[in-house]
Amino acid sequence: GDSSTALDKLCRRGIVAVHMRVTCAPAARQLQSGCGRASQCSHARRQHVWGGSNTVRGRSCFLVSRAAAGDTVGAPTSVEPKVELGKSGVMVSPMGIGAWSWGDKLFWNDNSWDNSNEKSAQGAFDRALELGLTFVDTAEAYGTPQFGAAYSESLLGQFIKENPNGSQCEVATKFAALPWRVGSGSVSDALRQSLTRLQLESVPLYQLHWPGLWQNEAYLDGLAEACQSGLTKSAGVSNYNEERLRQAHARLGQLGVPLAVNQCHYNLLYRAPEDNGVFEACRELGVTLIAYSPISQGILSGKYSESRPPSGPRGRLFNAEFLRKAAPLLDVLKKIGEERGKTQTQVALNWLMCQPGVLPIPGAKTPEQVEDFAGAMGWRLDDGEVQELRKMAQRAPSVQGFPAESF
């Protein structure tokens, strides 16, 4: 991390032409010999490129991973060490993947879920383990089995079982605070059902998905009971505002269980945690802030524009007018990415990783997406870039948050 940042600065000053991790021997030999034009390396589908946007005082070079859906820039330069969830003692990868879309036919996947979707999701899971993104977040509310699809938890359990390294996966799932669930025992009952779908005996992290309207203290008591009984190794909440967060921290503390995380909507287009006290409260209390929708449901990736908005429900949230107003921020993401040989997605994720105590979990539907996400690790934006992005983000329109944040 620190050495990568130092090399980045040297690259910018023109002292070094390039830095990277080369895992393909033929590509490494090409780099050592140099070339005046792009040459395709058939090994690991990597391409050696001279010149391009990284050029500083002459030629520079970077590796581009050739993915089936397009080029993926900026492979991870190193595997980052695991991080602790709050003060729980539970260690996970510094970035994870989200499984909200797995088995979903309503919001994601264009109202469809079939064998090809499942195969792609499994490929994403397998690639995540290979690249060190071992933390996977799901929930009992994810997936639409009632519409002929599947529970996200069931798919994850299947993927873990079928992967020889599946035991490396650090699973987080969530309790749906439904109004008919009464009493602290409802939490452990729901977790046992989740564990059956996951085919696990326990999970590293169990979270309350949103605050209960009238049973919240009972749910917190149930969360502590689930920890103490060994069904989960740590306890967390999600979509809790500052007041609710402090109450949860205090109540769990009274019961001898540390509050490990608060999972919140947080990205460059939705910085409410910075303004509503949640971010500072997490830092003060030693609670990890897990950032969901860290690339704003794909908007920060550069895939969409005023003339090419997303389809489905996202198209209503991120319409042409929104994308027109967000364009200056997207342009800066692109500029920084080109200077560093990184994608816009990688820059947006790295911006979050530069915020203390923040762990992003981008949603993964394909192996190629996971490869892109992994390229956000092993380096850091410098302070000037972090502030430039925040400044541009303040001028961009804010997206709509989850209503439960105001419960």
- Return d(Cα 360, Cα 289) in angstroms, integer: 8
Spatial distance between the Cα atoms of 119 and 125, rounded to a whole number of angstroms: 10
End-to-end Cα, the chain, rounded Å: 39
What's the CA angle centered on 180, arms 177 and 182, to 5 degrees?
Answer: 80
CB atoms within 10 A of CB 326: 25
Asked if 302 contacts 344 with a C-beta cutoff of 8 angstroms, the reply is yes
- Determine which one of 142, 219, 266, 270 is catalytic: 142
What's the token pair of residue 213? Answer: 């309207």
Q: What are phi and psi of 87, to 5 degrees?
A: -115, 30
- Give the alpha-carbon dihedral of 135, 136, 139, 144, to 10 degrees: 180
Pick from 314, 263, 260, 257: which is nearest to 289 by CA?
Answer: 263
Q: In what order do the strands lie in the sheet with 61-67?
A: 39-41, 46-50, 61-67, 70-73
Taking CB atoms within 8 Å and a gap of at least 24, the contacts of 395-400 are 395/328, 395/329, 396/268, 396/269, 396/325, 396/326, 396/328, 396/329, 397/269, 397/322, 397/325, 397/326, 398/269, 398/270, 398/271, 398/272, 399/269, 399/270, 399/296, 399/299, 399/317, 399/318, 399/322, 400/317
Cβ contact 333:344 at 8 Å: yes
What does the block give as tokens for 76?
A: 């991870």
Residue 357: which H helix or E strand, with range?
none
Q: Are 225 and 201 in contact (CB under 8 A)?
A: no
SS3 166: helix
3-state secondary structure of 324: helix
User: Is 266 annotated as catalytic?
Assistant: no
Q: Give catalytic residue positions.
A: 142
